[in-house]
Amino acid sequence: MIHRTRRATPKDADVAQALIGAALADYGIVFEPDGRDADVRLFGVRADHDDFVATIDDEPVGVVSVGPHGDEGVAWVSKLFVARHARRAGVGRSLLRTAHDAARARGYRRIGLRTRVVFREAIALYESEGYRAVTRDPAVLESGDLVFLRDL
């Protein structure tokens, strides 16, 4: 499967919403685009973020977002999701590397992300890309979240 990666536009918020909703449902996680997860509506919109869509034959199969997170010099990856039927073909790694390149181009020196312990495939990907878990906070670990960081 040959995939391409393009920059997202505001029209891709629906794409992100559909891909993320479907993936989270697989894990039994409730997705709330009208509530807690409302920032999905900003996919492809924010000037201080670089958002990308991966496609196969023009069909969107994956998304990723990278942008600021409060710590100067540290970019934050979010919304890395690949449609189930397109997984394990290199799309996720390619999206993540595209996010790294975009963050480097904006001058970031480090990059991080928050994920959940149940996202085992994602954790394997992050570790294989040099990310290391930094969370030691019991409250955070108890919530099932993990924070990963690496240099760019």
Ligand X SMILES: CC(C)(COP(=O)(O)OP(=O)(O)OC[C@H]1O[C@@H](n2cnc3c(N)ncnc32)[C@H](O)[C@@H]1OP(=O)(O)O)[C@@H](O)C(=O)NCCC(=O)NCCS
Residue of 66, 75, 122, 149 that binds ligand X (CB under 6 A): 122
| Residue 87 binds to ligand X (criterion: CB under 6 A) | yes
| Residue 97 binds to ligand X (criterion: CB under 6 A) | no
State the burial class of residue 11 (Cβ atoms within 10 Å of its Cβ: 0-12, 13-18, 19+): exposed
Which of the stretches 6-14, 36-44, 82-90, 136-144 binds ligand X when contact is defined by CB under 6 A?
82-90
Closest approach of ligand X to the CB of residue 81, in Å: 4
68: three-class secondary structure by DSSP: strand
Closest CA to 147 of 77, 81, 98, 95: 77
Closest approach of ligand X to the CB of residue 11, in Å: 21
Closest CA to 116 of 27, 31, 43: 27
Q: Which residues of the chain form contacts with ligand X (CB under 6 A)?
A: 23, 80-82, 87-93, 115, 119, 121-122, 124-125, 128
